[in-house]
Structure 1
Amino acid sequence: MTSKPHKKHAKLAVPEGGRFHRSEFAILGAPCDIIQNFSQQLATSLSPDHHIGYVDAAHNSEARKDVFTTVYSDNIDHHALTFQDEAIDYRFRSLFNTSDAVLINGNHFKAAKQIVLINEKKRASLERKLDRLTNVTLFVLDDGQQEVFSFLEEHVDDYASIPVFSIKDVEGITGVLKHEISSKTPGIKGLVLAGGKSTRMGQDKGNIDYHGKPQREYLADLMSGFCEETFISVRNEASVFDTQYPLIADSFHDLGPYGGILSAFRKDPNSAWLTIATDIPLLDKKTLDYLIRHRNPSKLATCFHNPETGFPEPLITLWEPRAYPVLLQFLANGYSCPRKVLINSDIEELKIDRTEVLSNVNTQDELASILPKVNA
């Protein structure tokens, strides 16, 4: 009897980054207490503009007496979560999803990038860990050190171009890290959410001509000035209409706009996605420009506050890549409402002067009432 051939996994776009985060730095080359204090100084200097995570290991093993597998505690000024999980590697990225970067004690863990401390006490230890120096960002001279160890020159790529700082120059070091973090700010892709059934309207809302062309084309043209690429979201691959823009068919079915957003992230989880509903005819370039200029990539999303509803408005939203796992988690918990995700997440919510820009048109009566405003 012949065994069945192994079926390969589905081809999925993979989020960029390392084990813990898309922007992670292992700090190694010094005793752990120095690494811990140095990490705290860097995080303090980087805040409040950036949220920094930290990874370390306990140095004294303690036998667990707790019978609970997971313990959550609300400690007033912070939350504490303790849990047992043998497959923790697959959860690290989710645990640090709200961080802009993660600093890691490199004496215990590897990371995609490294900051090398030059400390005489750890000279021999560092020489044994040269295989970990795959992408060195900085050399940092600890107190009393005058130069980088000579053995690093022949083992570190681009050695001559790597900056060297004194450990006391926290401002200079954080300046480099800020540049590294900002260089990881994702590009923006655009998505016109045009996959609805338009049941209440009685005709395809994306095909309505408000501005001399189908509305989905007008919005796509508008977004193209702000996005690296622009797509139109459709229910399925059988959708047929004339367009110069590539389509993204829903791979999360029967979820409305939520499915369109998730399908975009499934296609590219490393970009931010500017998503706009096809049924908002008063949207203009000025409004989009304001949204993009006030983008906060440290948040889950940037959107407008709708004073009429008192809630964030999901019709025009710039979702950061960190939104993807959160959207999936909400879906797993039975929620498929973009507004609910925004309400219950850390977002940048902007004021809007012209609230009529947020007007969406779903019925023939609403269409009749909006046309005079479009043509005004």
Structure 2
Amino acid sequence: MAGLLLAGGYSRRMGRDKAGMIYHGRDQLHHAFDLLQSLTTACYVAIREDQLAEDHRSTLPCLLDIAGVAGPAAGLLAAQRRHPEASWLLLACDMPLMDRSTLQALLLAAKVDQQAAVIAYAAADGRIEPMCSLWRPASKVCLQREATTSRNGLRHIAEQLRIRLLQAAEPERLVNANTPDESAAILSRLQ
């Protein structure tokens, strides 16, 4: 089991790098990386090539997003190419309320359901929340096929695979901080 922290986004809605936001007394990039690393045998951060020289990213093992592929699929595809035999525990760096038990539930479900290519949580709207999920090697062919199309979102790709959908014990753990208002609400909650 390998871990992949998605941190290659542009953070346009936030107006600043979401990976550098401080929620737990340190930047979210390192906080989320340590969380993933504690549950996996290898852990990487998926980034864009232009982020390689950034101080806080360069301190961690990084994988470069696949060129010509947009969004989180670029990072997952890079990970699957690097270690094609690995299952990948995926986490977006903009989920500051994520905790160990929420990630462990994905790992437990993977032990129970050996056939699912993707194990993910149901979002509040009942759809797949792909930003906290587990992707097995069986997902690779579909990911490669769809990655360069206009429908390369991880949700769309997961919907084409055998998926095990979980209900989060604490749904608030899946909340993303994409805007300054969302970040402020999370900071208020953490105080």
Normalising by the residue count of structure 2, what TM-score does the alignment of the two structures yield? 0.91
**In the alignment, is residue 298 of structure 1 matched against residue 115 of structure 2?**
yes
Deviation at 1:237, TM superposition (A): 5.6
Q: 1-side partners of 2:161 and 2:146: how far apart?
A: 11
**Aligned counterpart, 1:321:** 137
**Aligned counterpart, 1:142:** none
For residues 48-85 of structure 1, give each alpha carbon's deviation from its aligned partner in whole angstroms, at most 9, with x where no partner exists.
xxxxxxxxxxxxxxxxxxxxxxxxxxxxxxxxxxxxxx
Whether contact under 8 Å (1:235, 1:253) holds in the other structure is: no
For residues 196-243 of structure 1, give each alpha carbon's deviation from its aligned partner in whole angstroms, at most 9, with x where no partner exists.
011111111001111111111111100112111111111116522235
For residues 148-203 of structure 1, give each alpha carbon's deviation from its aligned partner in whole angstroms, at most 9, with x where no partner exists.
xxxxxxxxxxxxxxxxxxxxxxxxxxxxxxxxxxxxxxxx1111100001111111
Shift in CA distance, 281/189, structure 1 to aligned 2, threshold 3 Å: same
Bigger radius of gyration: 1
Whether contact under 8 Å (1:190, 1:230) holds in the other structure is: yes
**In the alignment, is residue 346 of structure 1 matched against residue 159 of structure 2?**
no
For residues 98-118 of structure 1, give each alpha carbon's deviation from its aligned partner in whole angstroms, at most 9, with x where no partner exists.
xxxxxxxxxxxxxxxxxxxxx
Structure 1 counterpart of 2:44, one-letter code: F
Aligned residue pairs total 187
Deviation at 1:332, TM superposition (A): 5.2
Pairing 1:244-263 to 2, within 5 Å after superposition: 244-263=59-78
Structure 2 counterpart of 1:304, one-letter code: Y
Unaligned runs of 5+ in 2: none
For residues 310-356 of structure 1, give each alpha carbon's deviation from its aligned partner in whole angstroms, at most 9, with x where no partner exists.
11110101100111111112235542110011223211111112111
Residue of 202, 221, 235 corresponding to 2:48: 235
**In the alignment, is residue 220 of structure 1 matched against residue 37 of structure 2?**
no
Which SS does the other structure have where 2:140 is aligned? helix
Which SS does the other structure have where 1:322 is aligned? helix
Which SS does the other structure have where 1:294 is aligned? helix
Pairing 1:114-153 to 2, within 5 Å after superposition: none
RMSD of the TM alignment (CA)? 1.5
Q: Which has the higher helix share?
A: 2
Q: 2-side partners of 1:349 and 1:207: how far apart?
A: 30
Q: 1-side partners of 2:40 and 2:87: how far apart?
A: 10
Shift in CA distance, 325/252, structure 1 to aligned 2, threshold 3 Å: farther
For residues 242-280 of structure 1, give each alpha carbon's deviation from its aligned partner in whole angstroms, at most 9, with x where no partner exists.
354211111234511111111111111111111100101
Q: 2-side partners of 1:238 and 1:362: how far apart?
A: 19
Q: 1-side partners of 2:97 and 2:43: how far apart?
A: 19
Unaligned runs of 5+ in 1: 1-187
Query: Quick check: 211-220 or 327-336, which moved more?
Result: 327-336
Whether contact under 8 Å (1:232, 1:248) holds in the other structure is: yes
Name the structure, 1 or 2, with higher relative contact order (CA <8 Å, separation 6+): 2
